[in-house]
Amino acid sequence: MERRSTDAPMTLSGRIETTSVWSSDSANHRSDPKQRHDSVGKPTKQMASQAELSGRRAHADNRLKVTESLADLALQQTSQWFINNQNADGHWRGPLEGDTILESEYLLICGWAGRLDQETMIGCTKRILAEQLPEGGWAIYPGGDADPSASVKAYLALKMSGCDADSEPMKRARIAIAKAGGPWAVNSFTRFYLALLGQISYSDCPAVPPEMILLPDWFPVSLHRVSAWSRTMIVPLSLIWSFKPVRTLPRDRGIQELFADCSYEMGNRPVGGNDAWSRFFRIIDSAIKLVDCLGFRPLRRRAVMACRQWMLERFQGSDGLGAIFPPIVWSIVALRAMGCPDNSAEVSECWKQLEGLLERPDDETIRVEPCRSPVWDTAIAVRGLAEIVSPSDTISSSMSTAVDWLLAQEVRFAGDWSRRVQAVPSGWCFEYANRYYPDVDDTAMVLIAISSWMKQQNIVRKDHAGRRLSRVKKATRRGIDWLTAMQNSDGGWGAFDRNNNHELLCKVPFADHNAMIDPSSPDLAGRVLEAFGSLGHRVGEPVVDRAIEYLRATQESDGSWFGRWGVNYIYGTWQAIEGLRAVGISRDDPLVERGIKWLQSKQQPNGAWGESPASYVDPSLKGVGEPTASQTAWAVAALVAAGEGNSSSARRGVQWLLTTQRPDGDWNETAFTGTGFPKVFYLRYHYYRISFPLIAIA
């Protein structure tokens, strides 16, 4: 790696004073008060000689050279890691890990469909048992408490796979489930699994009538008023609720022992909240069930056919319905319930997509992914590699191939988003194929990556580079126009739809997955602003100014911002600062200053940052958690963006990254720093711990 020479020593971020920047005293701006007093009182004796000063400077220079060498080595190792792991067509894709609900649900659907085989059972149960907490339950993220839904599904999956109820892990599990509230404390999705396997009645599940698909968009509870991911789950679930398929398990494979000790009050616990609207919707839920029980279903056949057609349309050009695990599972059950045989083209395609989500981290374990993340992973990798000064020809070629792959992934189809937005179809999705659902976050990240690549390569219009540049300019123009059209009325952005913020929908009994709508979030607003800024858009443009005002309105009183798609306030604060600075907001603006002060206040003594998903439940835990490479990199990136790259906080953060990197260029990180649904589902992006430190160090 080449570095420009300067007259003064350089840190990773710029010029510094010739002091020992990595010592604990200088890093924390501390010195001995007595020594200061002695220096003032006895200037002649305490003044260092010129030779001593020269020696100190030489020592500082040597330490800085060591630090620069470490940084260069880190960049070399990490960039080589990416070169080694790039796919032949130019893209990257890292493992995407969730909690054990995925393995549990996979076993449950295979058991329901009669497709359980020995290898699958052994592989999934091994991971489920490996993740069991010492107390007996299962958490939804490392370090979390036992979650009733995850624990009940794990227990049922293990029982169904033949685990002895009297074995030590199962005894511990029963105790933990009872402490967590028992089987009736589970969420709506879990109730549907229990009903599917004959453990409870469908009357214990929220009503999801298929007639909902016939309601007009202006109706308060219509299908297209809910979030895109909820939409893809509601439609197949409505068919399941209509047909109520059941495969009753043998008694020794069921979980009746979990219900045996439940009190009447636990069994009649209401689903949802206890406010007026929640109670109102529970009355509606009961009324729908009563009418259905009486057989009054004048629109049922029409609704069922509309749901089936809606699903089949969205199978096209997609890695399964919504390209995510839950809708694919429910699609299988819905189609089978409607009479489609298991070997039909539609059902076979669903099974193919579902089995494509199986990962085998070792010869014996099966881990199920919630979806694939190639576009996201590739865009972040390109963005990181583009930060390297004077990249090698190998890195340049690698990035160009990746950019070509990203350009080919642009979604030029008017999906569900087009019901509320008039724009030329564009955008990028998260997965390999999901043409109905390009999203704002991936689109913004791809635009940032491509812009970073263009600036680094100093692209000129000639030969193949010129043709590529022409494609890039057209794609980025369409992407910016699409993002502009997708801006919400409040100035922010949701992930998949415009103005998908009807909060009344969060009160229906089915809404306990905590993601019924897709409103604006500060982290998305920050990323979109960064994309706009990377392509030359600045303060004064209406779309930019509205987003800035949104971030002003959503900054927390302590200076932080909420993170919807990453854990949590560290993520949101980083992205907000990046976006604000990219469009020209001054580093002295109170928005930026307060955000930086909050980040600095959360830095740990070792120089790192960390935050647990527990902060979604308890805001007093903002910025508190085990240190991680990804979250430390986010904080450092925010400091650099705010012009604080030469601060003690930034240097200490980078030093922690340098000293914790593994020889192969990777970092150790087991924490879940990605967010699916706050309070419900979290993720471990295996590339986060590599991509983001690359950006921060470079």
Q: Quick check: 22 pLDDT over 70? A: no
- pLDDT at residue 182, as a whole number: 93
Q: Quick check: 487 pLDDT over 50? A: yes
Beta bridge partners of 97: 684
Closest CA to 695 of 611, 636, 651, 642: 636
Query: What is the mean predicted confidence (pLDDT) over 86-111?
Result: 97
Query: What is the mean predicted confidence (pLDDT) over 374-378?
Result: 98
Q: Which tokens in the block code for residue 322?
A: 């919504």
What is the rounded distance in angstroms from the CA atom of residue 204 to the CA atom of residue 198?
12
Beta strands at 96-97 and 681-685: parallel, antiparallel or unpaired: antiparallel
Which CA distances in Å does 29 have to 32, 38, 150, 242, 647? 10, 19, 47, 67, 11
- pLDDT at residue 694, as a whole number: 93
Query: What is the mean predicted confidence (pLDDT) over 247-256?
Result: 92
Q: Quick check: 148 pLDDT over 50? A: yes
- pLDDT at residue 27, as a whole number: 34
pLDDT digits (tens, 9 = 90+) for 505-520: 988 888 887 789 999 9
Contacts of 542 (CB under 8 A, 6+ apart): none
**Contact (CB, 8 A) for 398 and 83:** yes
DSSP annotation of 97: E
Which CA distances in Å does 476 have to 97, 387, 415, 458, 481? 31, 19, 19, 17, 8
CA 481 to chain centre: 25
Q: Quick check: 650 pLDDT over 90? A: yes
**Contact (CB, 8 A) for 401 and 92:** no
Q: Quick check: 31 pLDDT over 80? A: no
Known catalytic residues are 441
**Contact (CB, 8 A) for 524 and 465:** no
Average pLDDT of every residue of the chain? 88
Q: Quick check: 49 pLDDT over 60? A: no
Q: Quick check: 563 pLDDT over 70? A: yes
Which three-class secondary structure state does DSSP give residue 676? Answer: strand
- pLDDT at residue 95, as a whole number: 96
- pLDDT at residue 73, as a whole number: 85
**Contact (CB, 8 A) for 146 and 238:** no
Q: Which of 17-31, 356-370, 610-624, 679-693 has the lowest mean pLDDT?
A: 17-31
- pLDDT at residue 467, as a whole number: 79
- pLDDT at residue 268, as a whole number: 66
Q: Which tokens in the block code for residue 249?
A: 């398990």
Q: Quick check: 112 pLDDT over 70? A: yes
**Contact (CB, 8 A) for 579 and 526:** yes
What is the rounded distance in angstroms from the CA atom of residue 387 to the CA atom of residue 373?
22
Q: Which tokens in the block code for residue 344?
A: 């039909």
Q: Quick check: 323 pLDDT over 80? A: yes
Task: Give the gyration radius of the chain's Cα atoms.
Answer: 27
Q: How many Cβ atoms are within 10 Å of 361's Cβ, its own excluded? A: 12
**Contact (CB, 8 A) for 321 and 416:** no
pLDDT digits (tens, 9 = 90+) for 203-236: 999 999 999 999 999 998 899 999 999 999 999 9
Dihedral in degrees, nearest 10, Cα atoms 54, 55, 61, 65: 150
Q: Quick check: 54 pLDDT over 60? A: no
Confidence of residue 56 (pLDDT cuts 50, 70, 90): very low
Confidence of residue 633 (pLDDT cuts 50, 70, 90): very high
Please say whether the dihedral angle defined by the alpha carbons of residues 391, 395, 397 and 401, taken in this order, is positive or negative: negative
Q: Which of 29-33, 394-398, 445-449 has the lowest mean pLDDT?
A: 29-33
Domain 96-368: assigned CATH number:
1.50.10.20
DSSP letters spanning 628-658 = -HHHHHHHHHHHHHTT-TTSHHHHHHHHHHH
Q: Quick check: 15 pLDDT over 50? A: no
CA 347 to chain centre: 29
Q: Which tokens in the block code for residue 375?
A: 């576009």
- pLDDT at residue 510, as a whole number: 82
What is the rounded distance in angstroms from the CA atom of residue 360 to the CA atom of residue 366?
5
Which three-class secondary structure state does DSSP give residue 685? Answer: strand
Share of the chain above pLDDT 70, in %: 88
Query: What is the mean predicted confidence (pLDDT) over 146-151?
Result: 97
Query: What is the mean predicted confidence (pLDDT) over 170-195?
Result: 95
Q: Which of 58-62, 548-552, 556-560 has the lowest mean pLDDT?
A: 58-62
Q: What are phi and psi of 500, to 5 degrees?
A: -90, 75
What is the rounded distance in angstroms from the CA atom of residue 250 to the CA atom of residue 139?
28
Query: What is the mean predicted confidence (pLDDT) over 454-473?
Result: 72
DSSP letters spanning 323-385 = GSHHHHHHHHHHHHHTT--TTSHHHHHHHHHHHTTEE-SSSS--EE-SS--HHHHHHHHHHHH
Q: Quick check: 464 pLDDT over 90? A: no
Confidence of residue 50 (pLDDT cuts 50, 70, 90): low
pLDDT digits (tens, 9 = 90+) for 340-366: 999 999 999 999 999 999 999 988 899
What is the rounded distance in angstroms from the CA atom of residue 227 to the CA atom of residue 54?
65
Q: Quick check: 17 pLDDT over 70? A: no
- pLDDT at residue 267, as a whole number: 61
Domains of the chain, residue spans? 96-368, 373-486
**Contact (CB, 8 A) for 396 and 372:** no
pLDDT digits (tens, 9 = 90+) for 114-138: 998 888 899 999 999 999 999 999 9
DSSP letters spanning 98-166 = --THHHHHHHHHHHHHT---HHHHHHHHHHHHHT--TTS---SSTTPPPPHHHHHHHHHHHHHTT--TT
Confidence of residue 457 (pLDDT cuts 50, 70, 90): confident
Q: Which of 29-38, 46-55, 544-553 has the lowest mean pLDDT?
A: 29-38
Contacts of 435 (CB under 8 A, 6+ apart): 316, 317, 318, 411, 413, 415, 429
- pLDDT at residue 609, as a whole number: 98
